[in-house]
């Protein structure tokens, strides 16, 4: 492996500024690695080597000039390679959302999150694989083939941001954007042994994120450690006039120092997150990590989030309901492939019938049903009420503790094909990650151990609204005193 692809973001940024290597060399190193490994892993759906190299050369010129006369600030991410989940629009690059129905669609606009990082100097390497429209927990629902887990190629990388997680784990990108509607950043981070942040709902603009569950979708980051995540997060966060649901709060500049003292921190451990049927090594690793936080000075308290068990049914009513409307625009009229002849309904039926995958159709039907006259009150209406209760669970817990530590998934990465015939088993993979989305609270994921098969185990810390900085600090203290996050797959 080229030494360059081993560098974390600080290493990349410092090295470029000092002239230890050129941006062109850095980008080339990544594309060489992508070429040699990605036909196996399938993390990327699209790469843009030519465009990235062109930008790298511009960065090198800027850096050369800056080194001659170092005046003013350089863009903070100047020359940093970035992978982007294929549900986020990057101007001029295809955006398929892992679906055949968007084959050939090239957005003429950037997602705000992408735009902000481009303005900060990042270079997009390509678009990463995802479950179709981010619906899934394994990337097996991608219409363009499964992504393989770099730790074990017969295992899934998790999902739906599986391509981004695998890319970071396999050093095919130092950092990647993902999205988290029900755990889609945290769960693949856990399965692939990388770090991830799911920000507070409303913290990062959703403009240009192809909607799945609009009231749940959040743009997040996957990377190697908390410092890298924090740097990217603070640059893309903030209110956006194009997204009415973003919140106009100042985004703190997150400075993570070497302090590992957590004595002012109260960590809550929700009893409802330790369920029968959990893989014992997962539970053990989580308990051990919580103990570690305690050793760093944190006070650990048991808390209760009593409505946790309803998160799964509530999520699978609300997310599909919103999806059933969000995906109505894919009708073959304005973009994407069009099947059928001239007859309007034939175009709708054939295009949607043949170009959507089975999981997407399942959720559209679920959502359509939940919103139908006569069923609305019993399903969608009731789900919204229970969602409020789940939110109140968190509000109550955060009166007692600063953060909540919990497992991300009941198991480590499962085998490809293991759950494909059993949607319900697949849905259960999300049981620990859904509540944070329903409540809108932020969460970070980071590796805390490995199981006997050498598969990574991740833990999440969930925080109060807009408390991302606190989550970064605590997880950073953990990473300063452990080395799980430094391990790399063979």
Partner 1 sequence: MSPEYEAVIGLETHIQLNTQTKIFCPCKADSWNDPPNTNICPVCTGMPGVLPVLNKAAVEKAMLLAAAMNAEIQPISYFDRKNYFYPDLPKGYQISQYNMPIARGGYLVFPMPDGSERKVTIQKLHLEEDAGKTKHDFGRRLIDFNRCGVPLVEMVTGPDLHSADEAAQYIIRLRQLLRWIGISEADMEKGHLRCDANVSIRPKGAEVLNPKTEIKNLNSIVAIREAIQTEIQRQIREVEAGNPIEAWTLEWDEDRSILRKMRSKETEADYRYFREPDLLSLQIDEAWKAAVLSTLPELPLQRRARFVKEYGLPIYDADILTSERSLSEYYEATLQAYQGDPKRVSNWIINDVLRIINELGVSAAELKITPPYLAQIIRMVDESVINISTGKALLDKVQNCGKEPAAIVSEEGLAKMNDADMLETLIQQLLVENPVQVESYRKGKSGLLGWFVGQVMKQTQGKADAQLTRSILEKYLNQK
Active site residues: 85, 160, 184
Q: How far is the CB of 199 from partner 1 (least distance, A)?
A: 17
Which residue in the block uniquely carries the two structure tokens 């990042």?
A: 122
Helix H or strand E segment including 281 = helix 280-295
Contact segment (CB under 8 A) with partner 1 among 37-45, 51-59, 327-335, 456-464 equals 327-335
Indicate whether 45 belongs to the interface with partner 1 (CB under 8 A).
no
Q: What number of other Cβ atoms are within 10 A of residue 343's Cβ?
A: 10
- 331 touches partner 1 (CB under 8 A): yes
Comparing CB distances to partner 1, the nearer of 177 and 397 is 177
As given in the structure block, the two tokens for residue 314 are: 């509530």
CA 224 from centroid of its chain's CA atoms: 13
* Burial of 26: CB neighbours in 10 Å, binned 0-12, 13-18, 19+: buried
Q: Does 321 bind partner 1 (CB under 8 A)?
A: yes
How many residues are present in the chain? 490
Between 144 and 207, name the residue whose CB sits nearer to partner 1: 207
Contact pick of 214, 260, 281, 392 for partner 1 (by CB under 8 A):
214
Residue 410 contacts residue 282 (beta carbons within 8 Å) = yes
Q: Which 54-113 positions form the footprint of partner 1 (CB under 8 A)?
A: 87-89, 95, 97, 102, 105, 107-109, 111
- Cβ atoms of 416 and 146 closer than 8 Å: yes
Residues that contact partner 1, how many (by CB under 8 A): 44
SS3 179: strand
Choose, by CB under 8 A, the member of 134, 175, 211, 221 that binds partner 1. 211
Closest to partner 1 by CB, 323 vs 403, is 323
Residue whose CB is less far from partner 1, 286 or 441 = 441
Contacts of 69 (CB under 8 A, 6+ apart): none
Q: Residue 242 or 271: which CB sits closer to partner 1?
A: 242
Q: Describe the crossing of helices 382-400 and 311-326 by its angle, rounded to 10 degrees.
A: 120
| Helix/strand/coil for 472 | helix
- Rounded to a whole number of angstroms, the minimum distance from the CB of residue 297 to partner 1 is 40
322 binds partner 1 (CB under 8 A): yes
Residue spans of alpha helices (H) in 151-225: 162-169, 186-192
The reply on whether position 52 binds partner 1 by CB under 8 A is no
Nearest distance in Å: CB 208, partner 1: 5
Of the pair 116, 206, the CB lying nearest partner 1 is at 206
**Eight-class DSSP state of 102:** G
Closer to partner 1 by Cβ: residue 6 or 329: 329
SS3 204: strand
Question: Is residue 353 a contact point for partner 1 (CB under 8 A)?
Answer: no
Contact call for residue 245 and partner 1 (CB under 8 A): yes
Question: Is 244 among the residues that bind partner 1 (CB under 8 A)?
Answer: yes
**215 alpha-carbon distance from chain centroid:** 16
379 φψ region: left (φ > 0), alpha (ψ -120 to 50), beta (else)? alpha
Q: How far is the CB of 31 from partner 1 (least distance, A)?
A: 27
Q: What are the residues whose beta carbons fall under 8 Å from the beta carbon of 377, sequence distance 6 or more?
A: none
Nearer to partner 1, 154 or 245 (CB): 245
Least distance to partner 1, CB of residue 335, Å: 7
Work out whether the CA dihedral 8, 124, 459, 385 comes out positive or negative. Answer: positive
SS3 label, residue 63: helix
Per-residue binding string, partner 1, 110-139, x by CB under 8 A, is -x----------------------------
Give min distance, CB of 105 to partner 1, in A.
7
Listed residue (236, 176, 229) closest to 203, CA to CA: 236
> Does position 248 bind partner 1 by CB under 8 A?
no
- The whole-angstrom separation of Cα 52 and Cα 122 is 10
Residues that bind partner 1 (CB under 8 A): 87-89, 95, 97, 102, 105, 107-109, 111, 206-211, 214-215, 241-245, 321-322, 324-325, 327-329, 331, 333-335, 342, 344, 348, 368, 371-373, 376, 380
């Amino acid at each position: 492996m080229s030494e360059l692809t081993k560098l974390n973001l600080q290493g990349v940024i410092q090295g470029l500024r000092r002239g230890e290597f050129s941006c062109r060399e850095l980008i080339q190193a990544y594309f060489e690695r992508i070429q040699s490994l990605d036909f196996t892993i399938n993390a990327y759906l699209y790469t843009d080597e030519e465009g990235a190299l062109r930008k790298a050369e511009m960065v090198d010129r800027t850096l050369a000039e800056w080194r001659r006369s170092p005046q003013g600030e350089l863009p903070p991410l100047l020359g940093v390679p970035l992978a982007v989940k294929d549900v986020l629009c990057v101007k001029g690059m295809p955006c398929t959302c892992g679906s055949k129905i968007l084959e050939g669609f090239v957005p003429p606009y950037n997602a705000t999150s992408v735009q902000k990082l481009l303005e900060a100097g990042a270079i997009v390497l390509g678009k990463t694989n995802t479950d179709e429209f981010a619906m899934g927990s394994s990337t097996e629902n991608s219409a363009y083939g499964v992504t393989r887990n770099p730790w074990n190629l017969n295992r899934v990388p998790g999902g739906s941001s599986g391509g981004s997680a695998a890319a970071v784990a396999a050093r095919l990108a130092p950092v990647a954007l993902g999205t988290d509607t029900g755990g889609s950043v945290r769960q693949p981070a856990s399965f692939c042994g990388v770090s991830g942040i799911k920000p507070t709902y409303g913290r990062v603009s959703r403009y240009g994120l192809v909607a799945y569950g609009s009231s749940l979708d959040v743009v997040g980051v996957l990377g190697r450690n908390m410092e890298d995540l924090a740097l990217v997060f603070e640059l893309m966060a903030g209110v956006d006039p194009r997204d009415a649901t973003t919140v106009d709060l100042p985004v703190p500049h997150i400075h993570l120092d070497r302090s590992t003292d957590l004595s002012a921190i109260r960590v809550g451990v929700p009893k409802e997150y330790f369920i029968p049927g959990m893989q014992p090594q997962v539970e053990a690793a989580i308990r051990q990590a919580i103990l570690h936080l305690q050793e760093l000075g944190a006070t650990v308290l048991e808390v209760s989030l009593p409505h946790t068990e309803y998160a799964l049914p509530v999520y699978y009513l609300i997310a599909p309901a919103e999806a059933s409307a969000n995906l109505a625009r894919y009708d073959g009229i304005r973009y994407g492939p069009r099947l059928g002849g001239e007859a309007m309904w034939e175009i709708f039926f054939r295009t949607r019938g043949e170009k959507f995958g089975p999981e997407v159709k399942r959720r559209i039907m679920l959502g359509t049903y939940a919103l139908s006259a006569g069923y609305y009150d019993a399903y969608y209406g009731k789900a919204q009420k229970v969602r409020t209760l789940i939110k109140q669970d968190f509000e109550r817990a955060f009166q007692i503790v600063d953060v909540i530590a919990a497992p991300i998934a009941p198991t480590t990465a499962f085998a490809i094909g293991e759950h494909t015939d059993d949607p319900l088993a697949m849905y259960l993979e999300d049981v620990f990650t859904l509540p944070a989305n329903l409540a809108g609270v932020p969460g970070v994921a980071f590796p805390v151990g490995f199981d006997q098969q050498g598969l990574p185990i991740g833990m999440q810390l969930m925080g109060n609204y807009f408390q991302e900085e606190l989550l970064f600090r605590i997880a950073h203290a953990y990473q300063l005193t452990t080395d799980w996050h430094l391990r790399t797959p063979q």
